[in-house]
Structure 1
């Protein structure tokens, strides 16, 4: 039995310097983004020319480069997406990491050369979700970070897909891909790569202030054998926003442990942990890997800043700050001063340093130091000082990086060659995929005294490609006469023929790219004329099946009822009570279903279908398998299955959905663009709700829903514990009431009002429903991104 392959060590590259830091410190692969469609839009990211050089460099060393297209795509961006996919296929990237099913659909149909990896932004967290990805043609799933080793191993036993998991770096408080917090506060969507990190801010609960939503940093350096045994094939390091120094330290530390022989592992682990101290992260946690209820993942008393805390400012004079440093401080170190107000910190490099009144190059721990900064009167006594980079930083200038890229040899193409000598001409036939190039060259021959022309002679000559980026694969030579061709002439023929073959391959690739791009662009749906206003339909999400008599209201077409695991356990009783309303009931599935709950829901779905219910709303890829083998269903999607463009809508249709829920974060302009495309799929739009800003598996000890959490800007939030999950909602409701006629003119017809937070028959519930019927705005609500736009 062959030993399992060592897991891939996958490093972030947010800059060219970080790319080379990863390469030089032992990464097997890197992941990076272009300047568009990247979930780390604030990283430097790369041009396609940069990416080509990186691929040449990495492939020359037997490494890989994966490209992140893991953001949601607006309708107007689809042509640009097609161009990007065509370029990536032509460049032969090793994989594309994606979130939006528009990327999946276009790549699958028109760019078959692209290998597809499902981003952690897709919130895949159970075996059913991974199996669904496998059916869709993905080759790898980046699992949700909320899984334990036991849960990962269970997924591995049920699926064949490659599994990738984060092992180090920053954590999100909520499930990736399902956070609307940043977008809610200012239109900067985390699902568009522009997260403003409101979770890292300080909040007040009753008399307690703390960082309730700011997790510590994942560090699984102790668990690498366990992760490999659980079936993880790629160990991923977070950090495309981090420095090259961070990448060098972290990649080097993990490489040390991965490569250590068993007898030396303990010492390698000790040295690696010392090395990780140079990465300037937050406090380490193993996250959920050791179990579903970690106590150290988010500690409200711990400030969520990165860097090594040095101390608090004791004195300020102009631009000079004084403080007692807890750690060594050196010229060239980079500091960040974090104000008490919890606003953004200010960073600068230490260019001068005083111990007492004497200048120094190095200050030991526990020394009182004075450091000049370029910022006059910006800092205050009591502000915190962090060291975020050291004088030992990995440094490589941008110019040096680009010289290295330029020096990388282009990736070679493998060709098969046939040769025959006919009369005074050498006939050569090269084949590359479906391309054939054939030429005949006049030659001078001499009778062979010894070493006549042979296949070995030809392989020796044509096995060297010179400047042409070609590799010789198979070589076939027909019966050759006992003659000699002068070596110099053979080499000249090789040079001329290989240059022509290389040009033909380049032209074929360019034509292939143009054809694939043309076909993909032709499939994008054209914008039609604005539609005539369509009749309004109103559906309501309720929180309790006992409110089903709301259907007695003639203005309510349908009810969405959450199919919680609690309800699923007694579904037979619920089904009997609602059997006369079967056609108007849509069962809404919880988007998080860990394995035991998934099995409970599987049984409940089967019982409901047997009782005559046929309408279900799906909110995760792991839901599709719940309906295998069942017939006569009406399946729709909620807004958690992202639909921001017409290609995504078409993708959901092809996966079996008959109705698609439009995206909650969307804005007026993109909704108009999308609704003008004739997808042939009915859509629904949520128009009033308490938005679940964060949904998390992390428990916040001592925080309950009876009191508000308040930000330093006075915004109020509620924290609820729902079926073992923590849900943060704003106390300000989202509402598009007052815009329904406009939305109807855009082409929206089916509107959803969510009343699960207040009850359909409460005073607030009645008020909301009355406003929906009259299309009347409600005071004190937010329009989310509808008017201000979503970045």
Structure 2
């Protein structure tokens, strides 16, 4: 298949979590910037921006031919849909270059009501194979931000099969889990990574078989050695992670990559060495090439290394009140920023160095390798043995917020292009202005004189109307037809020009405001009305790991089994055929290209055997069913239905039964179920949460081993299907809430017994609890009662 032309030099895409970082990115040579709003951002802890800021930033970048992408890469709650519509309307009017999304509700609303918005698929959508990218093509996305778990060879294969733009991270923090598929933070306290509020429990210390380590804390990606290979593999945008990072970090990292990208081939080796040294000064974590160099890198997660940012420079030797003494491996200067990390697993404290002593003498700087004493603003907080990190240097890129705002407002954005057709008579001048295929007409009286020499000509008109002053326009083409042999006084022509551009601005504002009102009203009207989803009979489904437990269908409470598609289960097809109507086949949500065709063949085998129900968990699953008819497709919680518009979007993709989101709470579930949904809604009411799912193999972790946190919370690790899984030992249960959920309109209830088996003691206790309508002992309510942030 022909693929999209990859630019000769890929785009360098930089993060901006603050205005200072925005200008640091621009100053260092970024071709494009991505940033978030105060709402709907996967980095909710960043400063982020207002809509007014975004409008100015877009204008600033566009004036230099650069691009601005806005991240709306979180899941949307039901009560946020109206605000989301207002946001999409505003972003379209600002002509931002794209929005980066995770929730299919945003895709649906943008496609149907805000067609001027380009849509990029966030890495949170877990796009990791050709089928996922092809599905994005069908849906009208213009770019995929690929999962970070792909190798160079896998990326190149995807490129060979698609015309879609491909973006990939080249530098910055990594997640241990596939992005979008981590529920760790949410399970511990409702702070969902898919809502931009990750508390980073993966960075903490854990205990496994008497061994302590940072098992789930990956190093930072650094692919500066691999830029030519990434370009040849077909990546059109090199993305740097870091919307939570300082302006200094952004400036140094973007600058390092810019130097390498612009270096001549003969200079590349020397420039690369210089850039690597510059990256060391950015105070990131230990670098790794991640999966780009292979599917099982050894240096992604090193349990002995704490996953903290900054450069380690020493250990506290002595503490006297707020005076800390240590030997620094780097030179120190007043204005440097330090972080003291306690020897235990508690979070560190950072401060700017205001007082520095060498011996008893106060100094402004000290050389490396010398004992020093610093004064911290925290009294009695630290102890000998605590680690000292430098997290920013005194010579950092600095720009105050007020100075950044002045700089932003000083640059006049590039105006809208206006094509003019002018008709002149001795008594009037008529101007037809065309902007984006929309025409506006204006006529003004003139006093003209018969020309005795140098009559009015097109050159005069071009010179006059090219001067737009401070109005938000620029002159494109100008046509005028045949002009009368007259002279119009220059003063009068200039006044007409000023009046015309003022009138055009007011008319254009009215036109755009009316268009925005119409679009918004149509989008709001498309939201589902309130209504009842009550059904006569609820369906109970059991999710199993072993097809040999199909006898569970004899349990009068269980209507349907969810069974995994694998080689073992395919051997049981003949035994299961007579119960085909009661079986839903469950696809693994991670399906790399080397396994995709095998699963496609398995599905066709199952369909030929009379099975017609399948559960999907990723956009890359949909093309598996191309050409097949008469099927009933179910979505799992991994396809993110946290609002009714996501339910509608999935129904438009032929999903006949939508599983609501596993992280959701009572209030939002009630809000979704209060709408007239186009398809039935289901919910998992018992199971163990897969806190992390990763392609990283941690050799120190034994399969099915127990993991304990510093608070003695227990977890279980499994390594299967080429992946690492971390589960909580504490299951969750909403079984006691089933009656409430039925009354709200939920019609399907999933009991996940895949971790224990239906015939185990635990499995039997769960089934008994289902009969009683009560929760099994020692279960969590996940976010159902406490709420999802």
Range into which the TM-score falls when normalised by the shorter chain: over 0.9
- SS of 1:414's partner is strand
For residue 539 of structure 1, what is the aligned residue in structure 2?
541
For residue 427 of structure 1, what is the aligned residue in structure 2?
430
Give the RMSD, CA atoms, in angstroms.
1.4
For residue 508 of structure 2, what is the aligned residue in structure 1?
505
1:298 to 301, 309, 327: 301
1:311 to 293, 309, 314: 314
State whether residues 62 and 413 of structure 2, in contact with CA within 8 Å, keep that contact through their aligned partners in structure 1: no
For residue 372 of structure 1, what is the aligned residue in structure 2?
375
- SS of 2:281's partner is helix
For residue 88 of structure 2, what is the aligned residue in structure 1?
85
For residue 522 of structure 2, what is the aligned residue in structure 1?
519
Q: Which runs of 4+ in 1 moved over 4 A?
A: 531-534
Indicate the larger mover: 600-609 or 1-10.
Answer: 1-10
Q: Deviations over 1:600-622 (max 9, x none)?
A: 10110111111111000000000
Deviation at residue 526 of structure 1 after TM alignment: 2.8
For residue 786 of structure 2, what is the aligned residue in structure 1?
788
2:662 to 661, 664, 668: 664
State whether residues 534 and 744 of structure 1, in contact with CA within 8 Å, keep that contact through their aligned partners in structure 2: no
Given the alignment of the two structures, is residue 46 of structure 1 paired with residue 49 of structure 2, yes or no?
Answer: yes
Q: Deviations over 1:291-333 (max 9, x none)?
A: 1010001100111000000111111111111111111111100
Given the alignment of the two structures, is residue 154 of structure 1 paired with residue 157 of structure 2, yes or no?
Answer: yes
State whether residues 426 and 447 of structure 2, in contact with CA within 8 Å, keep that contact through their aligned partners in structure 1: no
Q: Distance in 1 between matches of 2:245 and 2:576?
A: 54
For residue 174 of structure 2, what is the aligned residue in structure 1?
171
- SS of 1:289's partner is helix
Given the alignment of the two structures, is residue 360 of structure 1 paired with residue 360 of structure 2, yes or no?
Answer: no
Deviation at residue 532 of structure 1 after TM alignment: 6.0
State whether residues 314 and 329 of structure 2, in contact with CA within 8 Å, keep that contact through their aligned partners in structure 1: yes
Q: Distance in 2 between matches of 1:536 and 1:601?
A: 30
2:223 to 220, 243, 268: 220
Q: Distance in 2 between matches of 1:3 and 1:179?
A: 32
State whether residues 10 and 235 of structure 1, in contact with CA within 8 Å, keep that contact through their aligned partners in structure 2: yes
Q: Deviations over 1:562-611 (max 9, x none)?
A: 113x447xx2x322121111101100000000001111101101111111
Q: Distance in 2 between matches of 1:103 and 1:662?
A: 17
State whether residues 131 and 621 of structure 2, in contact with CA within 8 Å, keep that contact through their aligned partners in structure 1: yes
State whether residues 435 and 505 of structure 1, in contact with CA within 8 Å, keep that contact through their aligned partners in structure 2: no
State whether residues 534 and 745 of structure 1, in contact with CA within 8 Å, keep that contact through their aligned partners in structure 2: no
Deviation at residue 740 of structure 1 after TM alignment: 1.5
State whether residues 720 and 727 of structure 1, in contact with CA within 8 Å, keep that contact through their aligned partners in structure 2: yes
Q: Deviations over 1:721-741 (max 9, x none)?
A: 111000000111111122222
2:280 to 253, 277, 280: 277
For residue 204 of structure 2, what is the aligned residue in structure 1?
201
Q: Distance in 2 between matches of 1:264 and 1:441?
A: 61
1:562 to 536, 561, 564: 564
Deviation at residue 446 of structure 1 after TM alignment: 3.5
2:619 to 618, 621, 644: 621
State whether residues 191 and 198 of structure 2, in contact with CA within 8 Å, keep that contact through their aligned partners in structure 1: yes
Deviation at residue 536 of structure 1 after TM alignment: 3.3
Q: Deviations over 1:508-554 (max 9, x none)?
A: 1111111111111111123336x668533211011111111111222
For residue 722 of structure 1, what is the aligned residue in structure 2?
720
Q: Distance in 1 between matches of 2:442 and 2:171?
A: 55
Indicate the larger mover: 485-494 or 163-172.
Answer: 485-494
Indicate the larger mover: 140-149 or 497-506.
Answer: 497-506
For residue 551 of structure 1, what is the aligned residue in structure 2?
553
Given the alignment of the two structures, is residue 491 of structure 1 paired with residue 489 of structure 2, yes or no?
Answer: no
Q: Distance in 1 between matches of 2:558 and 2:324?
A: 64
Given the alignment of the two structures, is residue 255 of structure 1 paired with residue 253 of structure 2, yes or no?
Answer: no
Deviation at residue 459 of structure 1 after TM alignment: 1.4
1:441-452 alignment runs, 5 A limit: 441-452=444-455
Q: Distance in 2 between matches of 1:111 and 1:634?
A: 31
Q: How many residues align?
A: 786
- SS of 1:738's partner is helix
Q: Distance in 2 between matches of 1:62 and 1:567?
A: 56
Deviation at residue 17 of structure 1 after TM alignment: 0.3
Q: Distance in 2 between matches of 1:534 and 1:447?
A: 87
For residue 771 of structure 1, what is the aligned residue in structure 2?
769
1:7-406 alignment runs, 5 A limit: 7-406=10-409
Residues 114 and 615 of structure 1, relative CA distance in 2, 3 Å threshold:
same
Q: Distance in 2 between matches of 1:374 and 1:526?
A: 56
Q: TM-score, normalised by structure 1?
A: 0.98
State whether residues 43 and 241 of structure 1, in contact with CA within 8 Å, keep that contact through their aligned partners in structure 2: yes
State whether residues 686 and 752 of structure 1, in contact with CA within 8 Å, keep that contact through their aligned partners in structure 2: yes
Indicate the larger mover: 404-413 or 260-269.
Answer: 404-413
Deviation at residue 259 of structure 1 after TM alignment: 0.7
State whether residues 164 and 236 of structure 1, in contact with CA within 8 Å, keep that contact through their aligned partners in structure 2: yes
2:416 to 403, 413, 417: 413
- SS of 2:749's partner is strand
- SS of 2:735's partner is coil
- SS of 2:202's partner is helix
Residues 251 and 439 of structure 1, relative CA distance in 2, 3 Å threshold:
same
State whether residues 336 and 387 of structure 1, in contact with CA within 8 Å, keep that contact through their aligned partners in structure 2: yes
For residue 684 of structure 1, what is the aligned residue in structure 2?
682
Deviation at residue 483 of structure 1 after TM alignment: 2.6
Q: Distance in 2 between matches of 1:292 and 1:214?
A: 18
Residues 2 and 649 of structure 1, relative CA distance in 2, 3 Å threshold:
closer
Residues 2 and 599 of structure 1, relative CA distance in 2, 3 Å threshold:
closer
Q: TM-score, normalised by structure 2?
A: 0.98
1:567-606 alignment runs, 5 A limit: 567=568, 571=570, 573-606=571-604
State whether residues 534 and 747 of structure 1, in contact with CA within 8 Å, keep that contact through their aligned partners in structure 2: no
- SS of 2:277's partner is helix
Q: Distance in 2 between matches of 1:584 and 1:3?
A: 48
Given the alignment of the two structures, is residue 644 of structure 1 paired with residue 621 of structure 2, yes or no?
Answer: no
Q: Deviations over 1:137-160 (max 9, x none)?
A: 000000000001100000000111
Q: Deviations over 1:627-654 (max 9, x none)?
A: 0000110001011010010000000000
Indicate the larger mover: 615-624 or 540-549.
Answer: 540-549
State whether residues 527 and 673 of structure 1, in contact with CA within 8 Å, keep that contact through their aligned partners in structure 2: no
Residues 770 and 67 of structure 1, relative CA distance in 2, 3 Å threshold:
same
Deviation at residue 43 of structure 1 after TM alignment: 0.2
State whether residues 645 and 674 of structure 1, in contact with CA within 8 Å, keep that contact through their aligned partners in structure 2: yes
Q: Distance in 1 between matches of 2:753 and 2:6?
A: 56
Q: Distance in 1 between matches of 2:678 and 2:568?
A: 34
Q: Distance in 2 between matches of 1:4 and 1:688?
A: 49
Residues 142 and 711 of structure 1, relative CA distance in 2, 3 Å threshold:
same
Give the gaps of 5 or more residues in structure 2: none
For residue 466 of structure 2, what is the aligned residue in structure 1?
463
Q: Distance in 1 between matches of 2:701 and 2:413?
A: 57
State whether residues 6 and 236 of structure 2, in contact with CA within 8 Å, keep that contact through their aligned partners in structure 1: no
Deviation at residue 440 of structure 1 after TM alignment: 2.7
Q: Distance in 1 between matches of 2:732 and 2:273?
A: 51
1:754 to 752, 761, 765: 752
Deviation at residue 434 of structure 1 after TM alignment: 5.1
Give the gaps of 5 or more residues in structure 1: none
- SS of 2:21's partner is helix
For residue 478 of structure 1, what is the aligned residue in structure 2?
481
Deviation at residue 442 of structure 1 after TM alignment: 2.8
Q: Deviations over 1:479-517 (max 9, x none)?
A: 112332222221221111111111111111111111111
Q: Distance in 2 between matches of 1:341 and 1:29?
A: 40
